Amino acid sequence: MSGLKKRSVSLAGHATSVALEPEFWAVLDRIAAERGLSQAGLMVQIDKERGRRPLASACRLLALDWVARPRPGAD
């Protein structure tokens, strides 16, 4: 995998950044598009649902879950 890429985001009024591999960002961008969200909107959603898990870990797990999910028409 390539090196980490950082993206800045505002969560609950606080600026933070998340560093992930470009491959994970590509999947997260597809998830955001599928859900009709901006990149920032998806990050807010992940933040609300992650519990005590680190944000970067929650992002990676969401991406892995999404790519493993069966797609209609895919055999």
In a domain, 74, yes or no: no
Instruction: Report yes or no on 75 lying in a domain.
Output: no
* 33 belongs to a structural domain: yes
Instruction: Give the other-Cβ count within 10 Å of 43's Cβ.
Output: 23
Report H helices in the chain. Answer: 22-35, 39-49, 55-68
Q: Decide if 23 is inside a domain.
A: yes
Identify whether 54 is part of a domain. yes
Residue with tokens 């933070």: 16
Question: Burial letters for 7-38: b for 16+ Cβ neighbours within 10 Å, e otherwise?
Answer: eebeeeeeeeebebeeebbebbeebbeeeeee
Residue 46: inside a domain, yes or no?
yes
The answer to whether residue 62 sits within a structural domain is yes
Number of domains present in the structure of the chain: 1
For residue range 44-68, list pLDDT tens digits in order. Answer: 999 999 999 999 999 999 999 999 9
Q: Which domain holds residue 62?
A: 5-68
Question: Is the whole-model pTM more than 0.85?
Answer: yes
